[in-house]
Copies of this chain bind each other. A is one copy, B any other.
Amino acid sequence: MEPEPGPGPGRWGPAACVLTGASRGFGRSLARLLAPRLGEGSLLVLLARSAAPLAELAAEVRAGGSGLRVECLAADLGCEQGLRRAAAALREVLPAAPPGRLLLVNNAGNNAPPPPPGPPALRPAGAAGLGPRRPSLGPAAAEPRLDPCFGCQERTEPSSLGDVSKSFLDLTDPDEINSYFAFNVTSALCLTSTALQAFGKRPGSSRTVVNISSLCAVKPFKNWALYCSGKASRDMMFQVLALEEPDVRVLNYAPGPLDTDMQLLARTKTGDPAMRQYFQSLQESGQLIDCTASAQKLVTLLEEDTFCSGAHVDFYDI
């Protein structure tokens, strides 16, 4: 039997971890659990749209561990420029990352949209960021460093859930649908392929890719056409990766109905009244899952490392 995961540093040996959607909810909980497991010399790359909460999280996990390098990248993965910046940053840092282990967790797209931004904020001075260290990426380098992504201020808010007030029949705008898939599917594919290429095959190293999936990848829900089809698409994409790369461990992890802003949207905005009621009842009956409890199950899955590569594993399965 596996020992209980302990909080001591060094448990995993030196590793490179990349976590998207790290600033809130499940991602933040996972970062807090992962950081103390990463051995001396490890690299933890935290990606999210908003710089300030990322910097806060980085400061917290740095304080809790030793010998851990934490890098933050504020990038909007729903805009092409943000995605390209994030990919460029991974290409920069991963080749020199510790050789033992790569863990990439594709969690972006599992938070509700953040509150509407105020006026563009300058990135806080001293906040950790890959941006300043990376090579010039064109015009952005000459502009003030905006939060969260150069050139994307006017874009529609990226959405993880999609507009669940709409039914399938209301989804007639190509822009809305294309934006949804760009943020929720394209970014996960591009960052995964980029990270695996940048880290490379290294003798004796392990590489694990996690797709934060959902019950919605395998079960349709009314008013959730975009979310369900995006999640189904991601699950399948990562199944293909598992087939193609037998030495990469691939996991589609469905974290359960998390007690986050996304569930708040689900129970207040879902167009179908019965569905709203269902989500409401999940909350009222205390069935929503604490992010840390679900992140802990994922960490246990990773430590046991007995899952079938490419499998869809649900919080409730284990």
- Please give the count of copies of this chain that the complex contains: 2
> With the chains together, A178 CA to B244 CA distance in Å?
22
| Contact B178–A178 (Cβ < 8 Å) | yes
Q: A237 with B244: in contact, given A168-B193, A181-B186 (CB under 8 Å)?
A: no
B222-A243 in contact (CB<8A)? yes
List the B side residues contacting A160 at CB < 8 Å: none
Q: Which residues of B lie under 8 Å from residue A231 when comparing CB positions?
A: 236
Query: Contact residue range for chain A?
Result: 35 or more
Q: Please determine whether B174 and A84 come into contact, CB atoms closer than 8 angstroms.
A: yes
Q: Which chain B residues lie closer than 8 Å to A83 at the CB level?
A: 174
Question: Are A174's CB and B197's CB within 8 A?
Answer: no
- Distance in angstroms from A200 CB to nearest chain B CB is 10
Knowing A178-B181, A193-B169, A193-B172, the reply to whether A228 touches B240 (Cβ < 8 A) is yes
- Residues on B with C-beta less than 8 A from A244 are 167-169, 222-223, 225, 272
Q: Give A71-124 interface residues, CB cut-off 8 Å to B.
A: 80, 83-84, 87
Q: Which residue of B lies closest to A237 (CB)?
A: B229
Contact B197 A225 (CB under 8 A): no
Chain A 164-175 interface 0/1 with B at a Cβ cutoff of 8 Å (1 = within): 000111111111
Docked-complex contact A177 and B196, CB < 8 angstroms? no
Closest residue of B by beta carbon distance from A91 = B172
CB-CB nearest in chain B for A236: B232
Q: Is A230 located at the chain interface by the 8 A CB criterion?
A: yes
Residues facing B in A10-28 (CB within 8 A) are: none
Q: Does A190 contact B (CB under 8 A)?
A: yes
Chain B residues, CB < 8 A from A228 = 236-237, 239-240
Binding site for B on A (CB under 8 A): 80, 83-84, 87, 167-175, 177-178, 181-182, 185-187, 189-190, 192-194, 196-197, 217, 220-225, 228-237, 239-245, 272, 310
22 contacts between A and B (CB under 8 A): A84-B174, A168-B192, A168-B193, A168-B244, A168-B245, A169-B193, A172-B194, A172-B197, A173-B190, A174-B187, A174-B190, A178-B186, A181-B186, A189-B225, A220-B243, A222-B240, A222-B244, A223-B244, A224-B240, A229-B234, A229-B240, A232-B236
